Amino acid sequence: MAEAPILEVKNLRVEFPTRRGTLVAVDDISFSIAPGEVLGVVGESGAGKSMTGAAVIGLIEPPGRIAGGSISLAGRRIDDLPYEEMRKVRGREIGAIFQDPLTSLNPLYTIGRQITETILTHLPVSPAEAQQRAIGLLREVGIPAAEKRIDHYPHQFSGGMRQRVVIALALAANPKLIIADEPTTALDVSIQAQIIALIKKLCCEHGAAVMLVTHDMGVIAETADRVAVMYAGRIAEIGPVRDVIKAARHPYTDGLMASIPKVGRTDARLAQIDGAMPRLNAIPRGCAFNPRCTKAFDRCRAERPEPMRVGNSDVACWLYDAGQGGTR
Amino acid sequence: MSTPGAPYIEVRGLARHFDVSKPLLNRVIEGQPRLILKAVDGIDFAIRKGETLSLVGESGCGKSTVARLIVGLYKPTRGQILFEGTDMGSLATRAEERALRKRFQMIFQDPYASLNPRWRVADIVAEPIRAHRLSSDPTEIRRRVDELLRQVGLSPADGEKFPHEFSGGQRQRISIARALSSNPEFLVCDEPTSALDVSVQAQILNLMKDLQRELGLTYLFISHNLAVVFHISDRVGVMYLGRLVELADARALFENPQHPYTRMLLDAIPDLDMTGRARTPVAGEVPNPLDPPKGCAFNPRCPFANDRCRTERPELRPVANGGVAACHAVEEGRLAAAPRLAPA
Ligand SMILES: Nc1ncnc2c1ncn2[C@@H]1O[C@H](COP(=O)(O)OP(=O)(O)OP(=O)(O)O)[C@@H](O)[C@H]1O
Ligand SMILES: Nc1ncnc2c1ncn2[C@@H]1O[C@H](COP(=O)(O)OP(=O)(O)OP(=O)(O)O)[C@@H](O)[C@H]1O
Ligand code: SF4
Ligand code: SF4
Ligand SMILES: [Mg+2]
Ligand SMILES: [Mg+2]
């Protein structure tokens, strides 16, 4: 990577102390995102995708905590900032789109008021300009009759429209880094295309970096430059989007790709990876995927694989250990 | 009470309008009229027993409102909902209504809002069992809850936890387990898998199909993911601005869509094969539901619109794919058939 990354995460670890012992939700992960780059993050639900995003924006809810590693934004460490300072960084430099649109919207205020306030807090504009910008943003995310709907309350919008309002809110201050946690999950394909175009535009025009968490491989295929696949708190595979989608290397990624329904395919059942991801308090020894992996061998049950360079990707799987003479 | 031969669920002329005006005083001061949003504006469909009907359409077109009307969370502004031929609106007593309603369950679009944060997962899942007095034996309830948690890919030990201890997709699995707990016959699923990763999604869709085969469940399914809809549905209804514009067998609809909006929707399916085909987003502005276009509501975005489309509203008529569609151009034979090759 020629340019210095906007976001650099090194050996991040997120823990939840509980009565039953410490749960490790994010276990020693590292990645970076360059200016203008979209990193897609996919993986099993519960794998730690949202937690990674929450760590970056400094919003892990106690008792959860960052227990190790570092997070830097444009070269400056942000994981150890005091709360007030982090709050400023969050609105101005990092825009966050959460998985749950309701937590980001205050039910008591009109959406217009919420967006204008964000703009006024972070940008040097007049209230009238803020109002204009708010209407413009709502239009950009595809809210019809934006100038009227700006006076409505969150509960008066459909699920997908609320999500678009949240997106408008996140983009309000032109952030450097956008953390988008399933921003298009509740949206239909056409609005999805619009939102993705909008995110891409921000990326290109403002050189913003985007971390895009989604379950939708179609969205990943179209939007992401690189993809990280997470499983049980770790990155199983990270690499260029084409390599990950078209030539998955990690057996988990492979299973994931196979289970996607496709228009025109009429199999009665979808291919599925049997079993479930392990509980965080019962991660198996060795590779966390080994109980479900059809390719597992002895070493997988004893030693934990670290990311290994395979082509342009990093893959945490013993099949690719040079000494092992794997099956690539 | 049920009428033999009647569809399992039928809606007739179903409508729901919302008053979204500002408070009276503001309206008087600002001289603004009352604002009525016609979220669902007169739709008809029927679902046979053991069948899956899906509703698709742009965000805000009224899908969730239909779902909420059917399970009784909203009262219709107009129209009827018939359950095995019995008009739900005609039920005289609460007891009668309860007896019918316990055969329905709904999985909500938003797994965050629909789980009580102060309850343990086991109690959340057991709630319909208790509410409908299906069992009062704690051991039996516990056994059932454990089984359900396993079925949706969670573990019995998760029953002791609270919703906030779970990720989004895990919470959606809890709401699915809850919906299944009272052995409903009819499930209304509003985006049940959109919060799930594709591997859990595959497990849930397979589970839904297995349950349908084994127990004869009937589903009303709502999803934005057209590949999921193709996979799960027997029939598909396409909604636009509060109305149905096309309804047909799933295969026929995907292979031979008739309504111009359906065609656009199918062209907007994202391309996973990365062939470099840019998807064609549905063109034009999303219409304003507060002031819907006259005539055919799709006319401002439709490449085939003419004067008739701008004045006269098209009604659903039988079309070439064996279903029905509401479009003047299709009816007049102005539209070339545009068969689609379903990418296999
Ligand atoms: N308050 C908490 N206490 C204990 N464990 C928690 C808590 N919050 C989350 N977890 C656990 O942390 C793990 C990671 O959760 P996270 O929300 O990051 O998952 P995710 O990858 O975003 O999943 P999804 O795709 O379903 O949203 C999950 O296994 C979850 O059960
Ligand atoms: N309680 C309400 N009060 C006022 N307007 C409402 C209410 N509920 C829904 N609406 C409006 O009704 C229309 C249809 O909403 P609905 O939630 O049914 O859409 P949807 O098709 O489910 O959309 P999505 O795909 O985004 O979930 C929207 O314009 C919405 O703003
Ligand atoms: S390390 Fe072993 S168990 Fe893990 S994914 Fe690779 S082959 Fe499977
Ligand atoms: S009725 Fe006219 S405007 Fe409406 S979809 Fe058909 S051709 Fe287009
Ligand atoms: Mg998440
Ligand atoms: Mg909805």
Interstrand relation of A21-33 and A7-18 (parallel, antiparallel or unpaired)? antiparallel
Is B59 part of any domain? Answer: no
Given a contact cutoff of 8 angstroms between Cβ atoms, the answer to whether A103 and A181 are in contact is no
Mutate to test the interface with B, among A20, A149, A215, A289 (most CBs of B within 10 A): A215
pLDDT value at residue A265: 81
Helix or strand or coil: residue A42?
Answer: strand
**Token reading at A290:** 């080994």
Q: CA-to-CA distance for A170 and A93, rounded, in angstroms?
A: 10
End-to-end CA distance of chain A: 26
Q: State residue A1's pLDDT score.
A: 46
- Smallest CA separation from ligand 4 atom 5, residue: B327
Q: Does B109 touch chain A (CB under 8 A)?
A: yes
Return d(Cα A153, Cα B167) in angstroms, integer.
Answer: 27
> CB–CB of A156 and B20 under 8 A?
yes
Spacing, Cα A214 to ligand 1 middle (Å): 15
Mutate to test the interface with B, among A189, A219, A220 (most CBs of B within 10 A): A189
ipTM of the complex, rounded to two decimals: 0.80
Structure tokens at B256: 């031979």
pLDDT (tens digit per residue) in B73-116? 999 999 999 998 888 888 777 788 888 888 889 888 766 677 88
Candidate from A45, A215, A266 with C-beta closest to B170? A45
Element of type H or E holding A7 = strand A7-18
Is B302 inside any structural domain?
yes
CB of A293 closer than 8 Å to CB of A300: yes
Answer for the pair A320, A326: CB distance below 8 angstroms, yes or no: yes
Q: Which of A214, A249, A256, A277 is nearest to B198 (CA)?
A: A256
**Residue B104: in which H helix or E strand, if any?**
strand B104-107
Which residue, B169, B177, B227, is CA-closest to B194? Answer: B169
Would residue B250 count as lying in a domain? yes
- The rounded Å distance from CA B286 to ligand 1 centre is 35
Give me B290's structure tokens.
């507060």
- Count of residues for chain A? 328
Number of domains in chain B: 1
Q: Which residue numbers in chain A have pLDDT < 50? A: 1, 324-328
| Residue matched to tokens 């008009």 | B87
Three-point CA angle A53, A57, A63, nearest 5°: 80
- Min Cα distance A318 → chain B (Å) is 22
The angle subtended at Cα B137 by Cα B133 and Cα B141, nearest 5°, is: 80
Distance CA A312, CA A317 (A): 15
Starting from the CA of residue B55, give the closest ligand. 2
Distance A233 CA to ligand 1 centre (A): 9
Is A100 close to B168, i.e. CB distance below 8 A? yes
Per-residue pLDDT at A309: 95
Helix (H) or strand (E) segment spanning residue B207:
helix B198-215
- Helical H segments across chain A, by residue range: 49-56, 83-92, 101-104, 111-122, 127-140, 146-149, 159-171, 189-206, 217-223, 241-246, 251-258, 298-302
Residue B259, domain extent: 234-344
| Tens digits of residue pLDDT in A285-299 | 999 999 999 999 999
Q: β-pairing, B186-190 with B104-107?
A: parallel
The answer to whether residues B188 and B135 touch, using CB atoms and an 8 Å cutoff, is no
Q: What is the pLDDT at residue A141? A: 82
Q: Which two tokens stand for residue B19?
A: 């008053």
Residue B343, pLDDT score = 41
Closest Cα in chain A to B271: A218
B177 CA distance to ligand 6 middle (Å): 20
Least Cα distance to A282 among A30, A21, A65, A14 occurs for A21
| Residue (of B199, B260, B191) closest to B226 by Cα position | B191
**B147, part of any domain:** no
Contacts for A216 with CB less than 8 Å, ≥ 6 apart? A184, A185, A192, B225, B270
Q: Could you identify the atom of ligand 4 that is nearest to the CA of residue B328?
A: 1
Q: Do the Cβ atoms of B198 and A217 come within 8 Å?
A: yes
Residue A238 contacts B where some CB pair is shorter than 8 Å: no
Question: Which residues, at least 6 apart from B211, have a Cβ–Cβ distance to it below 8 Å?
Answer: B180, B217
Contact B64/B50 with Cβ under 8 angstroms? no
Tell me the average confidence (pLDDT) per consecutive run of 10 residues in chain B, 344 residues long. Answer: 73 94 72 85 95 92 94 93 88 80 83 82 93 87 93 88 83 88 92 84 88 91 92 96 96 95 85 61 69 92 93 96 96 72 39
Residue for token pair 């991660």: A283
Condensed to tens digits (0 to 9), the pLDDT of residues A29-87 reads 999 999 999 999 999 888 999 999 999 999 898 899 999 999 999 999 999 999 899 98
- Token pair, residue A220, equals 């990943």
